[in-house]
Structure 1
Amino acid sequence: MRVLGVTALVALVAASAADAACDPSKWTPPSDGVYNTSSRVDPDKLNVHLIAHSHDDPGWLVGVDQYYMEKVQYILDTAVEELVRNPDRQFMFVEQSFFQRWWHQQGSEVRGVVKQLVKEGRLDLTVNGGWCMHDEATPHYIAMVDQTAYGHQLLMDEFGVSPRIGWQIDPFGHSATQGSLLSQGVGFDALYFARIDYQDYANRKKNKDLEFIWRPSKSRGKASQVFTGEIIDHYCPPGKFDYGNNGNQIQDDADLHDYDVCDEVDQFVNNAKMRGGASKGNHVFIPMGCDFQFDNSRRWFKNMDKLIHYVNQDARVNVLYSNLSYYTDVKRAEGLTWSVKSDDFFPYASARDDYWSGFFTSRPTLKRFARVANTLLQQVRQVDAVYQSHHSSELVALQRAVGLVQHHDGLSGTEKQSVADDYALRLNDGIIQAEKELNEVLFVIGEKEPYHFCLLANTSVCDVSTQNADFEVLVHNALAHTTVQTVSIPITHKSAAATVLSGDASVRAQDVFVALPVHPETQVAPYSFVFSVELKPLSTSRLLVKQKDANIEDDNEHQLEYAGAHGVDAEVTDDDVVVLENHHLRAEISKTTGSITKLANKKQNIQIPLSLNVAYYQAFQGDGPKSGAYIFRPDSNKTFPVTGTASDGAAAGSLPNVTMVELQTNTHNGLASVPRVAFKIGSWVTLEYRVNDEDEFLEIEWTVGSVPIDDKKGKEVIVRFDAGDSIASDGTLYTDSNGLEFVKRVRNHRDTWNLTLHDNQEGVSANYFPITTGAYIKDKKRQLNLVTDRAQGAASLVDGQVEVMVHRRLLADDGKGVSEHLNETESVFDSVAKKNVTKGLAVRGNFFINVDSAEDSMRSLRSKMESQFFRPLTAYRKPVANDVKAKVPWLTVSEFPPNVGLTTVQELSKQCLMVRLSHLYAVEEHATLSQPATVDFSALFSVKNSVVSEVTELVLTGTKELRAEDERVGLEWKTTDDAYGWSPQSLPVKGTTVVLQAVEVRAFRVCFAKGSAVAVEEGGSDAESKKKAAEVGAKDMDDVDSWEQEEGYSFGAALQDLAEMIAIE
């Protein structure tokens, strides 16, 4: 028996006295054991809406599979059981990556119950509805739309419901794209979240401004606004009302000493009144649930039943089970006037020195891999559509993997290492299936030998090209524009040449260069074959590459050493400059420092001085907030060069211990060369400068790592571009929002409150912002543009400068729950020691920079962002006989307007495609290209033996037709001001023609049929025209079958042949 001390006895007596003060006769318990939960809205009271939910991360501390097995399946099992017990109860579930797994494991009886609960709205699946709750800082908008659409389509197919509420409660800051395209754009009437800057939160709470109208798109204005709410005190219940984590329950048995109804009611009412005091109107909501809660739903619902029963007897407030759709509707019905916010919510700070701007860069290789996988998914979908395979099931694995990694603890880099590895494995498995899908499509059109992706080609690894003297390259252009792109392939010979076997491609320039390994001690392909190729819109071409001389293994004259046959020591001479140029640009690079010194735009006759410095911040590791997976907190505002002493963060320093690496070997066939030069900086950084054919941008390939930690100090590595006084940027940086619109960033400033910075370190971390594809600084005459190959953090801490964080290696945890240092390592085979060694992760990536006039700069920037995201799809195989007849694609695409992007092309049926179009420019970015763009599908899409018969606009997710104007515009709200108050009209489809306004992204169903196109005449009957189109389509359902017969093959037969070949092998 445990003996109580004096202090414990006193506490017990005090508690008993308090209990005695609570008169049980004040409360009426249920006589039949059933609590009264039937309350509805009371117009004369503060109404408290209980929102029962569970926030379920599909990966964070453990992987998605483990979370499902240990928690989520029991959450859904027990929640459904408890909803059936009481018709007043409601429960919200969000993450479709979990729900769909659970749904497909249920029998018919449970499915019938669930469908009825969904129909009644008590199991609420109309909130968010994506495959995951995506991050908002690091994904590209195409991936955000894609994963949202995938979840929405599954909900529509199974339950016939469309989500109408956004629920982004855990991402670490919120983007302008989320507030526009991913809210109103996907059909959401409201958006609720739980993480905004602590200073902003305090101001808004004080001013009753935690709910407001968010109108972040200057281009779309009111047409893309959304009612937005920041949840008071986070997304978990207040204090003792968390019935899962803290073990509390309501004791309403008056015969027991721990009877606590009075205390429970008082605390709840006080909290509700606090929320009411910070809100407008007579309605507030309290989230009831938290991370992975409701695995014991009985406990949660029984206590909530008691809470509603007794609080409503108290009668000071009215409490009810509710859902966010109903809450939004009653808030709107109050007719209140709301403030307007027109910027975004980055970076997020939860406290002093606690800026969540580190995750913008965390896990850079995962960020790049996810970008590559996302682009690959879009490209293989296109190939499916172009050749009308009717067989895209192999893409499901990649679609799910790409969707899953967009999770706010996935692509963000804020998960444990084992979980990051799991995301990467899923992406890799999905890519393997996509390769299989690509080959099945190509097999159908006569390509009998399979192709293989080489995802590590940028690190000089590709089995096909290094194990065969000759090989074929398949190149697919996913752009709707003719493009000149550069392809780099690892090879083992000193000379090579490419020729076109089939397709409309033309090789323009080619060279062979010495390859730079990521780790000097590893043995990889010694050379890179680089060629530029012109590609037509949505075209696929086949090239043959022939290597021309002896294998490098038989050539002792060449060794892969920086300071050997291909490396020269830096030497200061009168001719200290390397010049790289094409007819667009000229770059001068110092042999001594390895830094660019001048950058010129030859066509605009603009030249600026420009330096590049690689440096790092030392991570803070003392008491208080530390740099970690989430947090960026340097120990000062000083930066250190890769070797040497600290230099002031505002000063441009030289790069020490520089070795220039001669790369070019020779030119070929009289074609123009592709000039480049590389430098080794210190012991763990390399820079390679490239000027590619027809490119307006200088390409800079950087390799960073292994980052040394022998001094026991974490490091956050940056690349800083400094144009000095040549660009008077006036404290302003512009960063892209998920690859869509740009957001103006003013140093040490926030639009909606007066930012307080407490020290020099905060002056750094508070001015870091996420970039997904690009950033720029400008003045009235010129603009310096930067395009990147993955999500990163960027800042402009001094006028004329842009710095980008490229890598982080940290030795402390930031205390945000991961409990693991962000210290990524890799196993590397040491070709000298002949064994695997563990080293810090080395990262390789690319920047693209140019300078342009103020008038034309956004044209070059937007074009580069689009072409860099949609790099050509390349696949490789051994050469095959050229007697195979090339099949004509089912779909060909003509040149699109230069301001329109073909974002998605996906098969819907034999004669219909789902097409998403994006206007690539925002308002006021360009005098002509920002204007509305017209797309006539009948003129731009050509289908064998058919024409465009119908174009119908869909909601952006593609789940249903966009039928009414109010679906496009969204709900109307009264506002206090008119920031971005215009509402550009989204023009309806007319016949086969659509008009896109600036930065619009829209989805369409495009159908084809034999004979004449059926157009909807202006003022005519849309329904009648659709009926005619349907009749034409029904009559020609066998268009594709007849095409197959003409071409002499059958898709089903081809698959059977492929299966037999695989079985034989």
Structure 2
Amino acid sequence: MGLRSALCVLLGAAAVWGAGATCGYQSCPKTKPDMLNVHLVPHTHDDVGWLKTVDQYFFGVRNDIQHAGVQYILDSVIPQLLADPGKRFIYVEVAFFARWWGLQAEDVRQAVRQLVAEGRLEFVNGGWCMNDEAAAHYSAVIDQMSLGLRFLQETFGECGRPRVAWHIDPFGHSREQASLFAQMGYDGFFVGRIDYQDKAQREALREMEQVWRASGSLAPPAADLFTGVLPNGYNPPMSLCWDQICSDNPIVDDDSDENNVESLVSYFLGTAAAQAKHYRTNHIVMTMGSDFQYENALLWYKNLDKLIKHVNAKQLNGSRVHLLYSTPSCYLWELNKANLSWSMKYDDFFPYADGPHQFWTGYFTSRPALKRYERLSNNFLQVCNQLEVLAGLQANMGPYGNGNSSVLRMCQAMGVAQHHDAVSGTAKQHVTNDYAKQLSAGWDACQIVVSNALASITGSKENFIYCTYLNISVCLLTEAAETFLVIVYNPLARPVDWNVRLPVNGSRYSVVDPSGQAVLNEVIPVSSFTQAVRRDRGHAANELVFRASAPPLGFRTYSAARLPGRKPTQARELKWLRSRPGTERLSWVIENEHLRVRFDPSTGLLKMIENLDKNISLPVSQNFFWYNASIGNQENSQASGAYIFRPNASEPFRVGQRAQLYHVKNQVVQEIYQNFSAWCSQVVRLYAGEPYVELEWTVGPIPIQDGLGKEVMSRFETNLQTGGLFYTDSNGREILERRRDYRATWNLSQTEPVAGNYYPVNSRIYLKDRKVQLTVLTDRSQGGSSIFDGSLEIMVHRRLLHDDARGVGEPLLEPGDDHHGLVVRGRHLILLDTVESSADRHRLRAQQEFMAPQVVLAPGGGPPYQPGQDNLKEYSALTRALPSNIHLLTLAQWEPDSVLFRLEHQFERGESANGSMPITLNLLDLFSSFTIISLEERTLAANQKWEDMRRLVWQSAEGAAKPRPRPTPLDPTQITLKPMEIRTFLAHIQYHTRRGRRKD
């Protein structure tokens, strides 16, 4: 019977069953207080891309790769729920559900609304996807969760709001993720994968469930989240899988020789008793489902009905076990009612291992090009969101668009990219290509919005150009044009300086700012490194380099023009030297106002960094190494792969024993070019006025002709006495202390001294002693560690020849553009400072790198946007800059007359003498483009009013839980942010008019 046919039969009866029903905890089934209640949770885990693309999974295409069709799962489950009011089901991935919902007729939609209203179809987690927790930045996590939760809120109202976070498949769990979930209003969090040693310890101590204090800065219980570890990952108990892809025997309760009721019931009771020993209440949960299951939901439900019937029948003979259809929230509700005092967790769940030599730390770096593209895409999405708000209706109705909002395309692509097999780098190659394709389509859509917005605000219909290959010196406009405009848009709410590098073919240029003042600039040759990477994609001989500045949440337009004649080399102070025997006497030093960097001329390696402001000198050696990827050995067959990092030995190989050097010096930038091998090079760079050292590395194609997979890392060695400690960020926010060969939760038996000490580095990693701190900022998520005292290493690229047997079924062997292997280029920024002042620098610099200015180019000379409109060359959407410790995290259109914005305090409690102070803001006169008419505070994901949030209260070992403070009346002129606090607002606005621009 088809879905719509079934509805004709079942809707009438379902209407009677649903009379007076309600969702939420009130809809939970009754349990028996004097028995062991086994909560059976029918569910499906639907990866938003992995072995197949998102579309292939949804429609059921390419079943030769994996049998999976999400549309059929929902088609099959709904009639089963309608037929029996006792049945329940949970669904997670809104990217798939929204797609299915859009294809349904209204009668089907009404039936589903009814099921949701009765609490029998329950959404858990509710993000666009189930995001990765190691490689995802907190900004992108918030956005993808908000996207999914908004769909549920608008489609199903309050009954569509999930109460439970559900991360059953991500490969390790971050503290920041738990903090975000708590701030979004979730009552609990269930996870599936934790380290095998951790799990064994928890089972022995009956600490499979506890309260996670996920922030050291937010006052409890703001970031406290009850967290439970599921017993079987997310699979059913062994021998109890009844999906069409399973081979377990069904329950046969007929008068037949195949009758197996007694044996299965006995087995189940034993399984339930064994599981109950590891948990503290008379309630346990069993996940009855797995990957892409329930395409034929009848198979599952028919057998579950029989299991419930025959197990519960044993109660007449004295059994104390009670089975029921349930959901994660109903199970959580029973745990809360138990009123127990739970233990506390303060650290995170990284790294994750499922065996002695199986550390899932390789995916912290896997597919580095996709990781960078995702990071850049998030940056552009924020720019796109902001300009859509600042330009109003014109952003979608201007000369480059057709009146339809284009931002949603990028929002959805970014939402998909956060999936735990997307940004993690653990999908098949063709799926990874599809993720990139979706992001590219999002860029195309957002470029329309940005062009419309800039035309409206600047007053000029320019031919806006987006040169997306500037990192390899490719831009057709600047290479060919005699004159062009450079628009530098700053998405931060404070003014920034940014060093612009553009490929050109002239040798002299003038650069003029909006006031007509000449801007110091230099022209330097395109390096041989870059020429090799770009091949025939561009033909610029030089790069134009100048330092631009941009106002807060605004832009500044610079005019560039090629000048005739050749500028004498000596006047440019440009020197090219080669390190070779006999040149040791040369002084290989670059320096600016803040830093001096020394090199060893005999090896070509970095030797010393000096902070001239603080009078600090630190010997620092940096080089590239590679670990020989294991293919398995006599001790264990585990190989390195997309997920797992397992070097064949603890000692890595040097990429090159020494580096050949080239030297460039001028008034804008000083550079040392290091060539380590045919496939590894680096530029060490100091820009004038900047307090950091930039290392631009280029790695690949990694050679594999020797039959060895290679895991390449950049290692820094210092004389800092670090005592086994180093520090990494958690999803770009709070900092966690790491200790080599140590876990806070259990006594670690370390079996992999390198891989077992790797942690995710989303934005920064650092070392310090009592006085000095060395920080490395990354431009994408990577794996990092300190394998011995005074050292830091960051894995930048991996190329492997074997699969690690975790399901992806192919080695991490990225082909690159020419199918000879992937070449990756990236940047590390090095900060050397005192411990006391380091936080101010690395916090703000990391945020500026993440929210980098967007450079938009134009040939100039475009017609006015409207007759008589001035050509605006400088603009800020703020009446004043925000304090440096306050970040405008989100500014996005909500409805035509309302916007969503988030403000966050960027510092942790006690981290900085000045930065960690609370800040109070007046929001009413903050924006120059519009006036806030009314303001409403929302929870972090914006799907609930702040004042309506009522989270479950949990008792912990630290004493009685503190109730959430009662919200005070919102005063837009007195908005206070405390350390690490994010506040989310929905504002109804009225746009201002500008001369020559009509009111939107």
TM-score by length of 1: 0.84
Distance 1:932 1:804 in 2: 34
What residue identity is the alignment partner of 1:58? Answer: V
Look up the match of 1:799. Answer: 789
The residue correspondences of 1:857-872 to structure 2 (distance < 5 A) are: 857-872=838-853
Look up the match of 1:29. Answer: none
8 Å Cα contact 1:984-1:997 kept in structure 2: no
Look up the match of 2:279. Answer: 279
* Residues 28-76 of structure 1: per-residue CA shift (max 9 Å, x gap): xxxxxxxxx9973000000001111100001101101000011100000
What residue identity is the alignment partner of 2:463? Answer: P
Look up the match of 2:90. Answer: 92
Look up the match of 1:413. Answer: 425
CA shift for structure 1 position 854: 1.3
Look up the match of 1:610. Answer: 620
Counterpart check, 1:348 vs 2:352: yes
Look up the match of 2:702. Answer: 707
Distance 2:778 2:194 in 1: 27
Helix, strand or coil: the match of 1:826?
A: coil
From 563, 574, 591, the equivalent of 1:548 is 563
CA shift for structure 1 position 487: 1.6
What residue identity is the alignment partner of 1:449? Answer: E
Go from structure 1 to structure 2 and tell me whether the alpha carbon gap of 1:622 and 1:545 turns closer, same or farther (over 3 Å shift): same
Look up the match of 1:673. Answer: 668
Q: Runs of 4 or more off by more than 6 Å in structure 1?
A: 978-988
From 883, 886, 897, the equivalent of 2:883 is 897
Distance 2:894 2:198 in 1: 45
From 326, 335, 341, the equivalent of 1:337 is 341
Distance 1:390 1:449 in 2: 15
Helix, strand or coil: the match of 1:374?
A: helix
What residue identity is the alignment partner of 2:147? Answer: Y
8 Å Cα contact 2:629-2:708 kept in structure 1: yes
Q: How many equivalent pairs are there?
A: 933
Go from structure 1 to structure 2 and tell me whether the alpha carbon gap of 1:279 and 1:881 turns closer, same or farther (over 3 Å shift): closer
Helix, strand or coil: the match of 2:236?
A: coil
Look up the match of 2:172. Answer: 173
* Residues 375-402 of structure 1: per-residue CA shift (max 9 Å, x gap): 1000111112222236561111111111
Helix, strand or coil: the match of 1:940?
A: coil
CA shift for structure 1 position 575: 3.4
What residue identity is the alignment partner of 1:78? Answer: S
The residue correspondences of 1:50-449 to structure 2 (distance < 5 A) are: 50-70=40-60, 71-125=69-123, 127-160=124-157, 161-181=160-180, 183-222=181-220, 223-244=222-243, 245-315=245-315, 316=319, 317-389=321-393, 391=395, 393-445=405-457, 446-449=459-462
8 Å Cα contact 1:507-1:534 kept in structure 2: no
Distance 1:168 1:567 in 2: 54
Helix, strand or coil: the match of 1:142?
A: helix
CA shift for structure 1 position 108: 0.7
What residue identity is the alignment partner of 1:595? Answer: L
Go from structure 1 to structure 2 and tell me whether the alpha carbon gap of 1:38 and 1:614 turns closer, same or farther (over 3 Å shift): closer
Distance 1:890 1:910 in 2: 21
From 912, 917, 939, the equivalent of 2:898 is 912
From 917, 940, 961, the equivalent of 1:956 is 940
8 Å Cα contact 1:511-1:674 kept in structure 2: no
Go from structure 1 to structure 2 and tell me whether the alpha carbon gap of 1:856 and 1:508 turns closer, same or farther (over 3 Å shift): farther
CA shift for structure 1 position 817: 0.5
What residue identity is the alignment partner of 2:42? Answer: A
The residue correspondences of 1:554-565 to structure 2 (distance < 5 A) are: none
Distance 2:962 2:620 in 1: 40
What residue identity is the alignment partner of 1:859? Answer: D
- 110-119 vs 250-259, greater mean Cα deviation: 250-259
Distance 2:966 2:143 in 1: 25
CA shift for structure 1 position 660: 1.8
Look up the match of 1:601. Answer: 611
8 Å Cα contact 1:485-1:534 kept in structure 2: yes
Helix, strand or coil: the match of 1:708?
A: coil
Go from structure 1 to structure 2 and tell me whether the alpha carbon gap of 1:309 and 1:569 turns closer, same or farther (over 3 Å shift): same
Look up the match of 1:483. Answer: 496
Go from structure 1 to structure 2 and tell me whether the alpha carbon gap of 1:784 and 1:73 turns closer, same or farther (over 3 Å shift): same
Distance 1:351 1:568 in 2: 49
CA shift for structure 1 position 298: 1.1
What residue identity is the alignment partner of 2:937? Answer: E
Distance 1:484 1:397 in 2: 31
From 822, 828, 841, the equivalent of 1:841 is 822
* Residues 236-259 of structure 1: per-residue CA shift (max 9 Å, x gap): 101121111323353434322111
Distance 1:76 1:364 in 2: 35
What residue identity is the alignment partner of 1:743? Answer: L
Helix, strand or coil: the match of 1:407?
A: coil
Look up the match of 2:65. Answer: none
Identity %: 36
* Residues 650-669 of structure 1: per-residue CA shift (max 9 Å, x gap): xxxxx42x2223445xx6xx
Distance 2:370 2:683 in 1: 22
Helix, strand or coil: the match of 2:767?
A: strand
CA shift for structure 1 position 745: 0.3
CA shift for structure 1 position 230: 0.6
Look up the match of 2:956. Answer: 975
- 520-529 vs 282-291, greater mean Cα deviation: 520-529
8 Å Cα contact 1:388-1:890 kept in structure 2: no
What residue identity is the alignment partner of 2:985? Answer: F
CA shift for structure 1 position 800: 1.1
8 Å Cα contact 2:38-2:322 kept in structure 1: yes
* Residues 471-490 of structure 1: per-residue CA shift (max 9 Å, x gap): 22221001111111112222
Look up the match of 1:575. Answer: 585
What residue identity is the alignment partner of 1:277? Answer: K
CA shift for structure 1 position 572: 4.6
Distance 1:983 1:219 in 2: 16
Go from structure 1 to structure 2 and tell me whether the alpha carbon gap of 1:273 and 1:815 turns closer, same or farther (over 3 Å shift): same
Go from structure 1 to structure 2 and tell me whether the alpha carbon gap of 1:730 and 1:981 turns closer, same or farther (over 3 Å shift): farther
Distance 1:594 1:722 in 2: 15
CA shift for structure 1 position 881: 5.3
Look up the match of 2:754. Answer: 764
CA shift for structure 1 position 989: 3.5
CA shift for structure 1 position 551: 11
Look up the match of 1:995. Answer: 976
Distance 1:979 1:971 in 2: 13
The residue correspondences of 1:10-49 to structure 2 (distance < 5 A) are: 40-49=30-39
Distance 2:879 2:179 in 1: 30
Distance 2:845 2:518 in 1: 20
CA shift for structure 1 position 985: 9.8
8 Å Cα contact 2:924-2:972 kept in structure 1: no
* Residues 382-432 of structure 1: per-residue CA shift (max 9 Å, x gap): 112222236561111111111101100000000100000000111111101
Counterpart check, 1:660 vs 2:655: no
Distance 1:606 1:988 in 2: 49
Go from structure 1 to structure 2 and tell me whether the alpha carbon gap of 1:425 and 1:979 turns closer, same or farther (over 3 Å shift): farther
Look up the match of 1:630. Answer: 643
8 Å Cα contact 2:394-2:453 kept in structure 1: no
CA shift for structure 1 position 592: 3.6
Distance 2:603 2:161 in 1: 58
Look up the match of 1:1047. Answer: 996
Look up the match of 1:880. Answer: 861
Distance 1:733 1:145 in 2: 27
Unpaired stretches in structure 1, ≥5 consecutive residues: 1-36, 558-564, 644-654, 829-837, 1010-1038, 1052-1065
CA shift for structure 1 position 286: 0.3
Look up the match of 1:15. Answer: none
Go from structure 1 to structure 2 and tell me whether the alpha carbon gap of 1:983 and 1:93 turns closer, same or farther (over 3 Å shift): closer
Go from structure 1 to structure 2 and tell me whether the alpha carbon gap of 1:385 and 1:38 turns closer, same or farther (over 3 Å shift): closer
Distance 2:93 2:528 in 1: 43
What residue identity is the alignment partner of 2:747? Answer: N
Distance 2:49 2:586 in 1: 52
Distance 1:634 1:551 in 2: 52
